Structure 1
């Protein structure tokens, strides 16, 4: 027997599988919920997890519920199911990239039901999720954060406490705004260069290793010049969703969204022409094609 809290995990997908693996291997009793792909669930069951039949069943088995879902609509629907039962004393940790406006409303609903909602979105990739080395930005009351920190530490290499509930998702969106803004800049710069005799390889030879180099730039360019289709596994559809949240937050805050709206519109175009399931670095191909440039193979 263990005196560790019982954990329920909803969203064992690309990121969530590794996170849940590290939770159960950290000695926590774990219940998981299957969705379309059963492979992660079967793997987790082989590591000692149990499978729940429904959200309600999972919540009843759990002291702490971790969510790793596509966005706010899915989080809201899941919280509706959890709060329809007895949620008193439970803690929900939302690791999704959600809209902070929604998160703050959900936190009030949880509080009224005697539960606690913390937002703990993620940075880095499925590789780091599997290795237990994700970056986590967590929002909530300091005492509540301290209580769940050992759980989060099973899948995080770095944890940054960013403020009250909602601040985690706000910081995640700001992080993604910066990175997706760079993706838009790289793509347009590469297209301008291609029209004027500067190849992607030449561009990379100058920028790579210089002051404007960074980890995000390297994964982006590992697709562009390294031709690795899996260099950066983040879909244009998810990028568009995140930028819609950024623009929504700017609007709610009364901030003029000149740059964020431009980045969002470029991603909206990518999804509208049927490329939503393609990974983010392919934005460079789309911007090139829309400007009459054919990428050299």
Structure 2
């Protein structure tokens, strides 16, 4: 792997755009795949990236291929095309939130083909992706992690190896269970408060700065109380998907999933009622309406 490895990037959406921008600006030859949203692709091409017509062309130009996709089905399709194009000598870095069972199976297929796959999911938001200050939790053998860490550090200020392949996605699901659990909890707490004369602004004033305050609470409330619709850009459909993975992993591990199933059902309800594309803090308004509040 060269000092400025040739990078391929599949998935230049909300998170991927900023990550890819930092890679190309810090000197890595970058190939990106066409995306349904042309604006990020055109921006990256203007910064010096090459737009590949398909995954085979992208793989041919790349030593390291980053994936930042919605979930395991999309990752499996992309890796399948990389394998079909020839994976020898290639390293796939999956930054998606995916099922660790699938991740480990894909890593085995890549190894059989003479390549490698590791998981390096992300924490924080598109704003930090753009600024190059994401957190990365990587699942990789120590030698591969050592080679990849300088590349990951182009868009992250905190890069932690959490274990071997699959450990990154496991840690990401644990992390997202905690954060999405907060979201479901906040929504129900706000509904209880509203029914009894305590509005969201009052909740923010009391909790803010106290022991129960945190960055997630702050961005959630910037949306709910202050109307900043871009404060917490994470779609409810992705929250539902991530919680399905959490419950699935709990089931596969023989862990009783009382709380995770309840959190999953909150987001399943949000998506089932037509709000999958809304950002996560809208769960507060959805729960309120379902309880006859704020109609």
TM > 0.5: yes
Once the two structures are TM-superposed, the CA of residue 136 in structure 1 deviates from its matched residue by 0.5
Cα deviation per residue 1:176-231 (whole Å; 9 max; x = unaligned)? Answer: 10000011111111111111111112211111110000000000011121121111
Matched, 1:49 2:49: yes
Q: 1:15-26, aligned counterparts within 5 Å?
A: 15-26=15-26
Q: Report the counterpart of residue 237 of structure 1 in structure 2.
A: 237
Q: Report the counterpart of residue 217 of structure 2 in structure 1.
A: 217
Q: 1:1-297, aligned counterparts within 5 Å?
A: 4-294=4-294
Q: Distance in 1 between matches of 2:12 and 2:186?
A: 32
Task: After the TM superposition, list the runs of 4 or more consecutive aligned residues in structure 1 that deviate by more than 4 angstroms.
Answer: none
Once the two structures are TM-superposed, the CA of residue 4 in structure 1 deviates from its matched residue by 2.3
Once the two structures are TM-superposed, the CA of residue 3 in structure 1 deviates from its matched residue by 5.6
Residues 3/136 of structure 1: CA separation in 2 closer, same or farther (3 Å cut): closer
Q: Distance in 2 between matches of 1:86 and 1:228?
A: 46
Please give the root-mean-square deviation of Cα atoms over the aligned residues, in Å: 1.0
Cα deviation per residue 1:122-171 (whole Å; 9 max; x = unaligned)? Answer: 11111111110000100010100110111111000111110010000011
Residues 293/79 of structure 1: CA separation in 2 closer, same or farther (3 Å cut): same
Count the aligned residue pairs.
294
Once the two structures are TM-superposed, the CA of residue 39 in structure 1 deviates from its matched residue by 1.4
Q: Distance in 1 between matches of 2:283 and 2:51?
A: 38
Once the two structures are TM-superposed, the CA of residue 94 in structure 1 deviates from its matched residue by 0.3
Q: State the SS of the aligned residue for 2:262.
A: helix
Q: State the SS of the aligned residue for 1:84.
A: helix
Q: Distance in 1 between matches of 2:5 and 2:235?
A: 34
Q: State the SS of the aligned residue for 1:88.
A: coil
Q: Distance in 2 between matches of 1:200 and 1:137?
A: 33
Q: Distance in 1 between matches of 2:73 and 2:170?
A: 17
Q: Distance in 1 between matches of 2:15 and 2:184?
A: 24
- Report the TM-score, using the length of structure 2 for normalisation: 0.98
Q: Distance in 1 between matches of 2:9 and 2:176?
A: 24
